[in-house]
Amino acid sequence: MLTENSTIAGLNPTVQAPDISQEKRHLGAAGARLGRSAGAIGVIAILASLALAATSQDGWHRFFFSYLLSFSYVLTLALGALFFVILQHLTRAGWSVVVRRWAEGIAAALPLLAVLAVPIVVFGLPHLYHWAQPGTVVADPLLLAKQPYLNVPFFVVRLVVYFGLWSVLARFFFSRSLQQDATGHAQLTVQMERRSALAMLGFALTLTFAAFDLLMSLDAHWFSTIFGVYIFAGSVVSFFALLTVVVFATQRAGLLRHAITVEHYHDLGKLIFAFTVFWAYIAFSQYMLIWYASLPEETVWLLRRQTNGWGWVGLVLLFGHFVVPFVALLSRSPKRRPRLVAIAAVWMLAMHWVDLYWVVIPEVSPQRALPHLLDLTTLLGLGGIAVAAVLYVMRECSLIPEQDPRLAESLRFENA
């Protein structure tokens, strides 16, 4: 199966699939060292964040908003990975097989993110959410009306359901893919395809409500029915950027040098471009509808993000999250240059952080648009721990689903 060369419908029969048995397909000792380094950096950064929280003027209140920002950033990347894996099986995609294993490994880190959510649940709720403060709810008729949904026990139950489903789905697809590496049974692909439709439905519902709970309820007076789609769009485009960076770094390290070609970078570039436009469409739709209706309970959220310097952050998003990548990836040529696609991907990862920063931080710092040091140390901490977790789950497996029945199609893939 490693050197399958049979003709596949829709592909150029003259293209010879590379023999991946000659490729370096495992992270090996270098991956283990990188994982230990990332974990150490993450732990040190978390300790530094705790020290800053204990000694800074803003204290623990600011710490939990920075923690939520960094947690949301890492979580949305992992959820983007889970979406990608489910989507490939749902559509029976062949082109993506050689890059899918990294997505499976990133999604497999979701159980760890459930653990990293514990500080928010145990210590952070009163700092982050007004509705989690009993005295505030009693004095606010609107929060009192929303109390059947926005209350701490039900919030915790919902988080358990979200992370439980995400973890089960991530584990299911990852374990079946690894099992197929060992057995070569094509029936495992059929199993994953059959379960992908319900998995996608469950994913869509849980991501939407998680966006409402973790981020939109920071201001429980404000609401937007499109907010879940907005977070989804940012999650997906940032994951495609992450996958591009990871694939590029993998090849720079001497792994999968022939299995992943310019054709795969081309498709990743197209996906980044497409979901950049989708994110812009959703962002504009949300803004336009709120602006046009001009209802006080809706406009207050945007006004907070257009005054006291926050308007500049919005302009950074307008040009950085849409105009720049749109122009950079519009034509075919840049998408067929791996280095240029990787540079654009790094840019989009930075813009996704700015996007979440714009969503979260105005709720705690409406008078200051500049980042706090805690925003950076918590990102380094949670990011380092997440990288270590992904490298740990990928430590022994092949970086390619070696026995996937569509592997030959992916190896021979060509864009029209």
What is the arithmetic mean of pLDDT over 308-333?
A: 96
Instruction: Kindly list the distances between the CA atom of residue 352 and the CA atoms of 181, 241, 242, 349, in Å, as whole numbers in the listed order.
Output: 34, 10, 11, 5
More confident residue, 197 or 8: 197
DSSP 362: G
Residue 180: pLDDT over 50: yes
pLDDT confidence of residue 416: 75
What is the arithmetic mean of pLDDT over 63-92?
A: 98
Residue 241 in contact with residue 346, Cβ under 8 Å? yes
Give the whole-angstrom CA distance, residue 28 versus residue 9. Answer: 36
Helix axes 59-90, 338-360, angle to 10 degrees: 130
pLDDT confidence of residue 283: 97
Token pair of 211 as six digits? 């966006």
Reported as a pLDDT band with limits 50, 70 and 90, residue 4 is very low
